[in-house]
Amino acid sequence: MKQKNYRGYKSFQYLEAGVDYKEFKLAKEFGQFPSYVIPVTEEEEARVKRIFEENVVISLHDHMFIAPENLGEIMEMRRWGRDWTGYEGLSKSGLDCVFDNLMNGTSMITSRAGWKWDDIIYDLGMRLSDIAHQDMVILGLTVDDIRRAKANGQIAFVPSLESSTMIENELDRLDILYGFGVRCMGIAYSEGNSLGYGLKEARDGGLTAFGKQAVRRMNKLGIAIDVSHSGDQTAMDTIEVSEKPIFITHAGARALWNSNRLKPDHVIKACAERGGAIAIEAAPHTTLTKNHPLHSIESIMEHFEYCVNLVGIDHVTFGPDVLFGDHVGLHHAFAAALSISSAHGSKGFEEVEYVKGIENPTEAFPNIVRWLVKHGYSDQDIAKVIGGNTLRILEEVWYDPKKMGFGK
């Protein structure tokens, strides 16, 4: 893929390692696991490159974080609250925009439980400080920012949060997070909170009265709403209450694999009927299928095609949910904090060391497009699922000051 205007910047290089912060040896951005390229002809590869050049490419959910090489250090690294971004890997990803969900589920500066207000603000502010010291990545606060990044050889970074747990019962905290650049938020992670219920809960009571207030406030602010980790009833309530389309930013179809982490048909349909979209997940051991029980790009794309057949090409996109480093090892390290067993359910599966074909942000979208080209999808449909559908929804959901006319 054509590289962005990357000039070699590494996270926090404006500071002095060992003096201003504790240094950890990081995992490789490339070569952590064997690279895999979907086999295509020279003609097909030329078409892939043209598709990237001509269209806006958006990941609706990822983590551009670089894990430590020694995952035994991950807890200490998280306590320091300083995350390294894989700028070099990102520059080769083909992406024009990434909804980066930070590492807030494991933001544990003041608490081992995570999701505390102070920790979230610390994490967000530290990440934005790093971004402010380089020029390849820009903040993606509007649709115009995303298009501008594409035109200028840059990448729009959209700060996103997988849960609203940290707002507690303080509605105005949504405004504060918006002011910090947050443009996409989940209702709940695995555990329930003051807004609603997560997929870990055995009983889902749906969106709370406060949750309904929060959904309406996010609509007014222009924050896109995500129900990927919400329980089924909470997701349905959110879709009904929201005046704007919502996203399922990283999931798949439960009809293909019986896991709480995936969505049942009725939730996917309801999301699409109200104008929203589901983005297909690729984090290890999530989007498995009976036909492809070893997690790879083939099982991921089976979920993609199932959802396209269920709700149409205009309501499906991709949120790979990948990072730089040993993702499976990271899941092991954070098994309790991230409710991994609850997400995967009791159904057994054979663990893989990495997800072949879509293991990191650098190879994810290039291989997705190669797969789509190889399987006969038109340029128009590929453009929709790699960014066009997301842009269309953001035009409706995000606040656009040019369209409001305040003060006139």
pLDDT digits (tens, 9 = 90+) for 281-296: 999 999 999 999 999 9
Helix 232-241 / helix 209-221 crossing angle, nearest 10 deg: 50
Q: What is the pLDDT of residues 246-274, one digit of tens each?
A: 999 999 999 999 999 999 999 999 999 99
pLDDT bin (cut points 50, 70, 90) of residue 123 is: very high
The number of beta carbons lying within 10 Å of the beta carbon of residue 300 is 27
Residue ranges of E strands in 86-189: 97-100, 137-139, 155-161, 184-186
Q: What is the pLDDT of residues 71-91, one digit of tens each?
A: 999 999 999 989 999 999 999
Q: What is the pLDDT of residues 132-181, one digit of tens each?
A: 999 999 999 999 999 999 999 999 999 999 999 999 999 999 999 999 99
End-to-end CA distance of the chain: 45
What is the b/e burial string over 245-274, where b = at least 16 CB atoms within 10 angstroms of the residue's CB? bbbbbbbbbbbbbebbbbbeeebbbbbbee
pLDDT bin (cut points 50, 70, 90) of residue 346 is: very low
Where is pLDDT greater, at 80 or 336? Answer: 80
Long-range contacts of residues 45-52, Cβ cutoff 8 Å, at least 24 apart = 45/370, 47/373, 47/379, 48/366, 48/369, 48/370, 48/373, 49/1, 49/2, 51/369, 51/373, 51/379, 51/382, 51/383, 51/386, 52/1, 52/2, 52/94, 52/366, 52/369
Helix (H) or strand (E) holding 61: strand 58-62
Domains along the chain with CATH numbers: 42-398 (3.20.20.140)
pLDDT of residue 338: 57
User: For the chain, what is the mean pLDDT?
Assistant: 94
